[in-house]
Amino acid sequence: MSKLLNHIQSPKDLRELDPHQLPQLAKELRDFIIHIVATKEGHLGASLGVVELTIALHYVFNTPEDLLIWDVGHQAYGHKILTGRREVFDTNRQFGGLSGFPKRSESSYDTFGVGHSSTSISAALGMAIVSKLKGDTTKQHIAVIGDASIASGMAFEGLNHAGVTNANLLVILNDNAIGIDPSVGALKQYLTNVKKGTQKHENVFEALNFNYSGPIDGHDFSALISEMERLKTIEGPKLLHVITTKGKGLKQAEKDQVKYHAPGKFDAKTGELFPKPDTVQPPKFQDVFGHTIVELAEKNEAIIGITPAMPTGSSLKYMMEQFPDRAIDVGIAEQHAVTLAAGMATQGAVVFCNIYSTFLQRAYDQVIHDVAIQNLPVIFCLDRAGLVGEDGATHHGLYDLAYLRCVPNLIIFAPRNEVELRNIMYTAQLGLEHPIAIRYPRGRGNTLDWKQAFEPIEIGKAIELKQGNNIAVLSLGFIADNVTKAIEKLEMKDDVAHIDMRFLKPLDESMLHQAFNSYSEIITIEDGCEKGGFGSAILEFAARYNYKNNISVMAVPDIVVEHGSIETLQHLTKIDVDAIVEKLETIIQRHCL
């Protein structure tokens, strides 16, 4: 039998199939996704769970004229494969290849860029309102919201507005009871009761003036297609409740949905993960955080941990296991997480609010208004700071140094290694007069003996790691490792001093005066954006005190950085070891002339 998938170049080809052929296409599409992700890595479970839904959507609706938005974007692998990208899908998440998320510049079928969650309803409603204003009453606008994204405040804001319009909007709730970790909260319990038929109260979506239908089996083509065809004829806001199984079609992915959300490489035939190497490796920064907060919480009963839907990704899971009453997953609700932490801090709790750097952007107002203005000592632990790799533009933590530096009362610290992360966490829980943001990278550090005795860190104090003659490199955070490696490659190592500033705010002005008076050349380096970040702070310092030293800023340039390995992206943005060596050698040669 010839494979159906090989003949699908676009949804137009898909619509030529007979309905009885769709289950076979679903099997082929699942197999295709499994075999690609097994070797290339990526998000697996979410896309496997929506295979039938994806096929049905493109079968019923006239995409791309009808506008389809996926929320969250890691559900969309099948969508990409069916919309002309099958032959290049093996480049997914690779540098120069396909994005791991829908991206408007990549395809006309990707109607909206979706990396962060819970944006689809607002975006689709905006599209629907404009279509109505243009007099286009036939165009369909479909938002597929899944992986627990419906619980976000922004999703409710969209629902609240849509319910008082007559816009042609269809919200498809992909209800699989799990995001990256299992869903939490009262809404999750409500949807569970709806599925069981035990919910006795008024339907919450009907109360918001949506035409509600479901729940239906999201793996049943007959039910999906007939209901979507019916909903096409109904005006106004509609919500179709679809029940799916994340990881559908791969036994291990169905059984362990957390691990197989993004499992890394695995055996495509058996589904088994490849064994990890036996070599002893330094820990991941997230695990240093996770184990350290447990260690601190054992002695300090005031400590509480909060994460918005990332207990596994942030490693707060360890505290949730040891102290379930003091470690809280609030779901995909970053704004709530920050203000919840602020409320707890007013009552004397020592709150570690653990959020990915890129996701804290969604709670910027709360950081300013609810924490900083009130000067509440919330401890923000910002995981995935800097370049994060294959997840790309929406997930890089490049902007935190710049967007936090302007906030009054906020301390900003970037540990260069795992020991420094432990010690600043220890210092923070001893009691600070201000809130603090601790930002650290994705992945492993470089210290095997990281679990050392705690030592307090003096707030605002830098460290001179190496003395030199003519050049001082000022680094902030884990990028210091690149500087150390670069200096080791130089013939004239003695020319270069290396200072780990550690604190972006407050800056160690005493150390800076010493550096500017001792070295004619100053280089700053950071794994953050060039505009407004660490380098900008040093330039401001030099201008304030009228220093005339030559200053070079090495940082991520003012561009949108796409996806690729961290090593590739550091090379692209010229903050890798080779770029530092080149910069230092150029300055050294100039001094020798």
Rounded (5°) CA angle 16-146-339: 155
Q: What is the 3-state secondary structure (H, E, C) of 125-175?
A: HHHHHHHHHCCCCCCCEEEEEECCHHHCHHHHHHHHHHCCCCCCEEEEEEE
Q: Which of 85, 188, 246, 442 is catalytic?
A: 246
Closest CA to 450 of 283, 277, 294, 278: 283
Name the active-site residue from 238, 362, 442, 505. 362
Give Cα separations from 419 to 60, 426, 441, 478 (angstroms).
56, 11, 14, 12
| CA–CA separation, 469 and 32 (whole Å) | 58
Catalytic member of 227, 334, 526, 530? 334
Counting runs of H as helices and runs of E as strands, what totals does the chain give? 24, 17
From 528, 281, 558, select the one nearest 384 (Cα to Cα): 528
Bridge partners (DSSP) listed for residue 439: 382
Q: Which amino acid is at 300?
A: N
Phi, psi of 74, rounded to the nearest 5 degrees: -75, 5
| 334 given a catalytic annotation | yes
Closest CA to 28 of 44, 52, 46: 52
Query: Is residue 246 annotated as part of the catalytic site, yes or no?
Result: yes
Rounded to an integer, what distance in angstroms lies between the CA atom of residue 28 and that of residue 479? 44
Please give the full DSSP string across 77-117, using - where no structure is assigned: HHHHIIIIISTTGGGTTSTTS--SS--TTT-TT--S--SSS
* Separation CA 281–CA 320 (nearest Å): 25
Q: 36 vs 322, 458, 536, CA distance in Å?
A: 37, 49, 43
Residue 475 vs residues 103, 391, 397, 472, 484: alpha-carbon distances, Å: 34, 25, 17, 10, 10
Q: How far is 455 from 439, CA to CA, in rounded Å? A: 19
84 by Cβ neighbours in 10 Å (0-12 / 13-18 / 19+) ranks as middle
Q: How many CA atoms lie within 13 A of 131 on its CB side?
A: 21
Residue 269 burial (10 A CB sphere; 0-12, 13-18, 19+)? exposed
3-state secondary structure 346-393: HCCCEEEEEEEHHHHHHHHHHHHHHHHCCCCCCEEEEEEEECCCCCCC
Q: What dihedral angle (degrees, nearest 10) is formed by the CA atoms of 265, 270, 275, 276?
A: 20
Please report the beta strands in 161-276, taking only residues with DSSP state E, as ranges in sequence order: 169-175, 211-217, 238-243
Contact status, residue 496 vs residue 356, Cβ threshold 8 Å: no
Active site residue 259: no
Is 188 in contact with 177 (CB distance < 8 Å)? yes
Residue with tokens 């938005």: 69
Distance CA 252, CA 239 (A): 31
Active-site amino acid positions? 246, 334, 362
